[in-house]
Chain A
């Protein structure tokens, strides 16, 4: 492997989300909060939701993690904002398939940036970094 392969993992758009995460922070009031850890590595995410019926009206995240997990969290919040819970869960399923290297229709995400995470599927130890935020989001249904 070389830097060319590394570049498939650390695409510019990922580093951009890592440097400038979208929807990072907390709401002033106390909305629904879920927490999820990756116990094998210590990555940790807190997600806050503002729900309007079954629509994810707004969400924010905080947490600690590597570039992949934080960039993925940033993108996830953008992708599911304004979606219904059912739609969001569908996107999470789609994302998991993408991590397994399956062909998926990226347009469904409505966010081109997510395609950049496809390279993670070539780095199996890092897949759990990318799916952490999505798995946390799935808890909104519980």
Chain B
């Protein structure tokens, strides 16, 4: 993998921030976009823009072909059985809410259980809290091991025949831990539950095969994998999606509308009410082409190396705490003793280094870590060992700057 050649595809990286070449280490929040994606969206609007699935003019069919072509690319990218299992929406949050509001409300009853983990992003906690509240169900947490991983014995203990839904992140956005979703899926199925996988942090970085994982639902966002913001995907097994009711009603998703009753289009369109995110889907299609050209396995191998290097170098800094297991995705969450992550982030920013500081939309996990906030450096295909070196230099400067500040 030629990282320098990849970097050249990302125009935004070629700039100085606060007098230093930009080091972007916040890709878990959102990735940067390669020129191929920017140009795909640009040319869609310049040449093909039209509404889809309606009208009989040429632009209309071009836009429809591009939109449905993107769906086909997503289907191949995650190895779904058919493209009817691919529902476009705004992103992981929306996708998880569709599952909660449609499948959840219809299939969870009083006394049932929904099982999640403490490492979930808020978007994979709150929708289930809401379903549990409305239906009088119990929300249960699989405990975490000391290093932030999940033990399958715990999963077997927590998931029971009363469990209807198991919802779990494929990769934690804070700990970087990679969860054994395939094995968790088996345990869920043995107990008659479905498994919902939050793939926001896995789809951009690893080869995802939803059939091999045997997950019932898999949600991810385009913007974390080189595509524009505002486009995301819900994958669901055909037989489940077919039984589910839409959550949004209106244009695009109907078959026939009569005065007092209506019928829905077939999959996947019954879940895509309103004019869809056409340019976003086109951008996502271009992003998938870009990533598959590099090769997801190459990306994963490169990021593993980068994560190991980052762990090694950051781990050598005194008074720095790293959260999460050794084996991890390409992100490192940490704290410098006695320096608040905001202050760390501000000092790094003056050095042109962008990291995330805060609770990472994972307040339940922050409590478990006993930290009110943490700093996180997250990497992607365009990051290099030099970026990590710059981060380490910046952190040493931060330490020096704040000296022995404590109270």
Contact = CB atoms under 8 A, between A and B. Distances in A.
A75 to B, nearest CB: 15
B314 interface: no
Contact of A41 (B18, B19, B358, B405): B358
A18 to B, nearest CB: 6
Contacts of B346: 6, 9, 123, 125-126
Interface stretch (A60-68, A79-87, A97-105, A110-118): A60-68
A10 interface: yes
Contact of A19 (B340, B357, B407): B407
Interface in A1-58: 1-3, 5-6, 9-10, 15, 18-21, 40-44
B373 A10 contact: no
A129 interface: yes
Contacts of A15: 405
B359 A42 contact: yes
Given A66-B343, A126-B342, A42 B363 contact: yes
Nearest to B339: A67
Contacts of A2: 19, 350
A40 B401 contact: no
Interface residues of A, number: 27
B40 interface: no
Interface in B12-42: 18-19
B372 interface: yes
B366 interface: yes
Interface residues of B, number: 21
B157 interface: no
A19 B363 contact: no
Contacts, number: 62
A10 B372 contact: no
B401 A41 contact: no
A18 B350 contact: no
B347 interface: yes
Nearest to A125: B346
Given A1-B350, A2-B19, A67 B363 contact: no
A41 B359 contact: yes
B407 A42 contact: no
Interface string B339-371: 011110011011000000111000100100000
Contacts of B347: 6
B323 to A, nearest CB: 15
Interface string B371-407: 0110000000000000000000000000001000111
B401 A42 contact: no
Contacts of B349: 1
B342 A66 contact: yes
Given A42-B358, A42-B373, A66-B342, A6 B401 contact: yes
A17 B373 CA distance: 21
A15 B350 CA distance: 18
Nearest to A20: B407
A10 B18 contact: no
B372 A1 contact: no
A18 B342 CA distance: 14
A19 B401 contact: no
Interface in B300-346: 340-343, 346
B373 A18 contact: no
Given A2-B19, A66-B343, A19 B359 contact: no
Contacts of B401: 3, 6, 10
Nearest to B351: A1
Nearest to B372: A64
B19 A21 contact: no
A19 B405 contact: yes
Contacts of B18: 1, 5
Contacts of B340: 65-67
A111 to B, nearest CB: 20
Nearest to B397: A3
Given A6-B350, A44-B372, A64-B372, A1 B19 contact: yes
A10 B402 CA distance: 9
Contact of A129 (B342, B359, B405, B406): B342
A19 B372 contact: no
Nearest to B345: A125
Nearest to B344: A66
Interface string A65-94: 111110000000000000000000000000
Interface of B: 18-19, 340-343, 346-347, 349-350, 357-359, 363, 366, 372-373, 401, 405-407
Given A66-B342, A67-B405, 15 more contacts: A1-B350, A2-B19, A5-B350, A6-B350, A15-B405, A20-B407, A42-B358, A42-B363, A43-B372, A64-B373, A66-B340, A67-B340, A68-B342, A68-B343, A129-B342
Q: Which 9 pairs across A and B sit closest by C-beta, in order of nearness?
A: A66-B342, A66-B340, A1-B18, A42-B359, A64-B372, A1-B350, A41-B358, A42-B373, A19-B407
6 contacts: A2-B350, A10-B401, A41-B358, A42-B372, A43-B372, A126-B346
